[in-house]
Amino acid sequence: MPPMDSPLYQRGAGGDLAGAGWFERGDTAWLDLAWFDAVIMRTDPPFDQAYLYATWLLEMAERLGARVFNRPRALRDFNEKLAIARFPQFIAPTLVTCHADLIRAFLAEQGDIIVKPLNAMGGASVFRLRPEDANLGAILETITHYGHETVMAQRYLPEIREGDKRILLIAGEAVPHCLARIPAEGETRGNLAAGGTGVAHPLSPRDREIASTLGPELKAAGLLLVGLDVIGDCLTEVNVTSPTCFQEITQQTGFDVAGMFMDALEQEVGRALRIG
């Protein structure tokens, strides 16, 4: 985003960005990233080689004065699936492996599991497995690429019927409402991209406990915007690349999520400028 005193910005009453006329498209030009007050890294997964290269390039830009949110190093350090292992007190039984025999043993122990890749989004390639599944072998071969791709297996949480809750953290603070993404009929996945329906709810005491525990650590790591996924009482993912649900929460509750984000962004930029 350009500097806040740039003529690109037209402030409305009360200092808010005013409606559809808050910017004008100018001529295209190459600009040093350090010229901008903030660079927002918000690219959808998969977290592939191209994404990794982008974080390295943005980290080089940081060394030259660019202010990047979320910080490139934090994007690399917090894999959206694996990051839950930092907070074992909040997660369901979980296994990370590329070995089909270990997943089979985990399935036999748990009775009903979910398996998913470590680098995707939107419910892509997420499977629910039960011991009697006739396609079990084929699914494990496919998702692990015949033992060459590491995946995550988690105990199936029946509370998914009540929704896969997205809790937004902005600068370590929780938005007061979550969005429960309820699976479509016959679906296991609640993701909106997989046909789920989003219903906003106030945070429960357990939601607040998870958010208040993770918030300070995630903020300290350089993660301004995070989307926690919670099913029932269990943390299932820590989304740091492009967390969604701003619009749905705002439309259903009236809480200005985007305004909270912009306020936090301005505060972080102001702090960085004062320190610099």
Confidence category of residue 80, pLDDT binned at 50, 70, 90: very high
**Where along the chain do its domains lie?**
93-155, 159-265
Q: Is 125 helix (H, G, I), strand (E, B) or coil?
A: coil
Residues 228 and 175 sit within 8 Å (Cβ to Cβ): no
Q: What percent of the chain has pLDDT over 90?
A: 77
Average pLDDT over residues 120-126: 72
The whole-angstrom separation of Cα 273 and Cα 231 is 39
The whole-angstrom separation of Cα 244 and Cα 64 is 30
Residue 19's contacts (CB-CB under 8 Å, 6 or more residues apart) are 12
Q: For residue 185, what pLDDT is reported? A: 77
Q: For residue 227, what pLDDT is reported? A: 98
What does each C-alpha distance from 39 to 11, 121, 180, 219, 223 come to in angstroms? 20, 23, 30, 17, 13
Residues 64 and 34 sit within 8 Å (Cβ to Cβ): yes
Residues 135 and 225 sit within 8 Å (Cβ to Cβ): no
What does each C-alpha distance from 230 to 131, 171, 181, 270 come to in angstroms? 25, 19, 10, 32
CATH topology of domain 93-155: Dna Ligase; domain 1 (3.30.1490)
Confidence category of residue 146, pLDDT binned at 50, 70, 90: very high
Residues 59 and 72 sit within 8 Å (Cβ to Cβ): yes
Tens of pLDDT along 164-187?
A: 999 999 999 999 999 999 987 767
The whole-angstrom separation of Cα 115 and Cα 125 is 8
What residues pair up with 153 in beta bridges, in sequence order?
A: 95, 115
Q: For residue 3, what pLDDT is reported? A: 52
Does the structure show a pLDDT above 90 at 4?
Answer: no
Catalytic residue set: 81, 116, 166, 181, 189, 229, 237, 239
Does the structure show a pLDDT above 50 at 9?
Answer: no
Q: For residue 24, what pLDDT is reported? A: 80
Of 24-33, 154-163, 220-229, minimum mean pLDDT range: 24-33
Q: For residue 211, what pLDDT is reported? A: 98
What residues pair up with 168 in beta bridges, in sequence order?
A: 227
Q: For residue 121, what pLDDT is reported? A: 66
Residue 145's contacts (CB-CB under 8 Å, 6 or more residues apart) are none
CATH class belonging to 159-265: alpha beta
